Amino acid sequence: MTNSACYIEQPNLAMIGPQQFDSVTTGLLYSLLGEYGVVLFRGCMRGPEAFSNFVASHSSRLSLDPARTMVAGAAQLVDAGVDAVGLHCENGNSPFWPDITWFYCADAPRKGSQTTVCDGEVVLAQLSESCRSFFEENDIRYSRTVPGPKWRRLVCHYTPGLDDPALVLIDDLLRNVAEGAGTTISYDPKTDEIGYSFVVSAIQRSSFSDRGAFANSILGPSFNYEKPLIDTASGAPIPEKFLAEIETVTARATRPVGWQDHDMVMIDNRRVMHGREAICDTRRRIYNALSYR
Ligand SMILES: [Fe+2]
């Protein structure tokens, strides 16, 4: 199958139907992701086990969100309340930033309640010169605390042979983030909490597209965690006028996925931000998985 075998419903979204689904290769998926940033599989997926298997077979390794419940090895049920969720890259405010975020919609909402996507390449092209320059010259800093059970679970996931959170040491965590520049971690043995700050550019270059994109978590809340403090690496705040501009430009570039039952999307998590409309239809069962290319 070639790229042209997939029909495109809207800009920046490649669609694969059930007839094409059985013959997709990882190479084709990565090339579509590089071109469009989002691949929608229409009506292709049957159950969280099949979803998990598909994600695993097209990824080098899996990631997880330690605040969510795991289903079938890779899938995690999205359960972050009913409020709207601002645009973000999944775990893009931490050194555990996966390359691909996947959603599988077992039961689609009949009205509203959509997952939304926003192509950071489009946003970057539409930012004013002064706003773009600001983010090129100033890295963003996310700071927050994470309670013991969550960071311990994450370390277990990333450390072969270590599966009891009670046995995890702070050095085990430090070993897992040692390679990542820009991360500072402190540990409070009294509360078992860690405090971390993660410094990173708001403009990323995706390995799928090899093009720059405004891709970050500046606008996204953090439902399962303490809300991070977001400022710049120098400690200065992000100017209000630039926050207002990115709100306006990203809102204009944001599209609903348009869920139908059994759909799945694959999103370039270093290029395309995602969010969610407020949930007004509780007939909505969506799973998430995170992975590396
Ligand atoms: Fe998310």
User: Tens of pLDDT along 2-37?
Assistant: 444 444 445 678 999 998 898 999 999 999 999 999
Q: Which residues contact 211 (CB under 8 A, 6 or more apart)?
A: 121, 205, 271
Element (DSSP H or E) covering residue 116: strand 115-119
Q: In this structure, are residues 99 and 91 in contact, taking their beta carbons and an 8 Å threshold?
A: no
Ligand 1 centroid distance, CA of 2 (Å): 30
Quote the percentage of the chain above a pLDDT of 90.
Answer: 66
pLDDT score of 280 more than 60: yes
Ligand 1 centroid distance, CA of 190 (Å): 31
Please tell me the pTM assigned to this model.
0.90
* Model confidence band, residue 163 (pLDDT cutoffs 50, 70, 90): confident
Ligand 1 centroid distance, CA of 75 (Å): 13
Tell me the β-bridge partners of 230: 142
pLDDT tens digit sequence for 165-208: 999 999 988 888 865 668 899 999 999 999 999 999 999 999 99
Ligand 1 centroid distance, CA of 136 (Å): 24
Residues whose CB is under 5 A from ligand 1 (ion)? 90
* Model confidence band, residue 162 (pLDDT cutoffs 50, 70, 90): confident
Ligand 1 centroid distance, CA of 88 (Å): 6
Q: Which domains does the chain have, with CATH numbers?
A: 3-119+254-292 (3.60.130.10), 122-249 (no CATH)
Distance CA 30, CA 103 (A): 16
Q: Among candidates 207, 208, 200, 233, which has minimal Cα distance to 88? A: 200
